[in-house]
């Protein structure tokens, strides 16, 4: 197997402006997330557990925009990459909170069989990343 790092994202906790993550979880431990298996969700769950909270409920959404809009509207807590939060049209209604000890850093890799013929799209992507 061979691999190449594609991107390193800094995940941050998001709440509505004026709310801390601890306040949001103490009042109503609901997380707005993608479906089970999502890395953002898994990091959020580990973070909450490490702070002594159990996410009793999750509201699963299929799009980033929906999650950001719900959190901006005051529906509790979520986690997103810093770059997405900053570029969101709801960024002025969101408070972004860094995750302690770099536990919010997530690396995405391209992985392929080393001996296999490299598909053109992957070859082009890897060439562009090497520039």
Please report, for the domain that includes residue 15, its CATH number.
3.40.190.10
What are the tens digits of pLDDT across the range 9-45?
Answer: 999 999 999 888 888 888 777 899 999 889 999 999 9
**Domain presence at residue 120:** no
Q: Are 25 and 57 in contact (CB under 8 A)?
A: no
Give the pLDDT score at 2.
Answer: 83
Neighbours of 24 (CB within 10 A): 25
**Domain presence at residue 84:** yes
Supply the range of the domain harboring residue 95: 10-111
**Domain presence at residue 25:** yes
Question: What is the distance between the alpha carbons of residues 9 and 105, in angstroms, rounded to a whole number?
Answer: 6
**Domain presence at residue 102:** yes
Give the pLDDT score at 1.
Answer: 84
**Domain presence at residue 1:** no
């Amino acid at each position: 197997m061979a691999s190449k790092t594609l991107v390193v994202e800094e995940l941050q906790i998001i709440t509505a402006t004026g709310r801390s993550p601890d306040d949001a979880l103490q009042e109503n431990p609901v997380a707005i997330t993608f479906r089970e298996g999502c890395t953002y969700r898994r990091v959020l769950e580990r973070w909450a557990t490490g702070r002594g909270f159990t996410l009793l409920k999750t509201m699963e959404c299929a799009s980033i925009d929906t999650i950001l809009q719900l959190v901006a509207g005051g529906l509790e807590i979520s986690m997103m990459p810093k770059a997405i939060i900053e570029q969101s049209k709801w960024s002025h209604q969101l408070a972004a909170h860094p995750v302690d000890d770099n536990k919010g850093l997530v690396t995405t890799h391209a992985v392929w069989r080393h001996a296999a013929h490299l598909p053109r799209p992957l070859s082009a992507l890897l060439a562009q990343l090497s520039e």
